[in-house]
Amino acid sequence: MRMEKEREELVRYGRKLCEAGLTKGTGGNLSILDRKNGQVALTPSGIDFYEIRPEDIVILDLSGKVVEGERTPSSEWEMHLLSYREREDIDAVIHAHTMYSTVLACLHWELPATHYMIAVAGPTVRCAEYATYGTHELAVNAAKAMAGRKAVILANHGILAGAKDLLNAFNIIEEVEYCSEIYVKAKSIGDPVLLSEQEMKKMAEKFKSYGQKKSIRRETEETRG
C-alpha cells in the first residue's frame, strides 16, 4: 500500500479525536500530504473512526483523482486539497465537530483573543461564511477565512485546522476547543477582556517554538540526522 505510515497515523488520530471528546462517530475527517510525491492520504466517507482500518484510507493526487483505495473519500476532500495547494506550511489537516467551537459556528462568531493559547492558531480564529458541506464553495470560504491562521471555524458546522503534521494539527484542534469553551462560558456571565494586538504579536513570537509539538520519534530522528 502507498503511504503506509500515514495511513496508520490517520487511523490513530481519528480514534484520538473521539477519545478526547473532540468529535463523534463519523463527524469529521483527517488527511496527510506527501508533498514530495504530491499525494494525499485521506479518511473515507461514512465509516466510524473506531472502524477505519489502514486499508480503508484513500490516496488522492492534488487534483482530487483517486490514486489508490476502494472506499469513497471523505466528502470534504476538496477542503483538504485546497489547503495543500495554497499553503506550504500545511501538510496535515483535521476537520472535527467539536462542541464549543461549533457553538460559535452556529452563532457565526469568530473566536477572539481571550486566552493566550489561541496563539497556536493565530491572533483570532475567524468564522468562514456558510456553505453546504462537501462543496467547492465551502472549501473556498474556509481557505479565505483561514488565511494567516492555522484554524478556521466553519459556520453551522465545526472546525478545520492545519499544520506540518497530525500531532500539531491535533494540538491546534484541542487548544482552539479549550479557548472556545472558556470564551463561551465567560460570555455567559460577562464580557471577556480581550488580549491586545500587541500582546498577541508577542505570543506569536513565543509560539514559534513553544506552540510547536514534536513526537518522541521525530525528535529521535532529528537527533540522529
DSSP string covering 134-196, please? TSHHHHHHHHHHTTTSSEEEETTTEEEEEESSHHHHHHHHHHHHHHHHHHHHHHTTS-PPPPP
Q: What is the largest CA-CA distance in the chain?
A: 54
Residue 101 is placed in which grid cell?
467551537
SS3 79: helix
What does each C-alpha distance from 157 to 58, 78, 81, 103, 105 come to in angstroms?
23, 16, 19, 9, 6
Query: CA–CA separation, 160 vs 28, rounded Å?
Result: 9
Q: Given 6, 76, 174, 177, which residue is catalytic?
A: 76
Task: Judge whether 4 counts as a catalytic residue.
Answer: no
User: Residue 92 forms beta bridges with which residues?
Assistant: 32, 163
Active site residues: 76
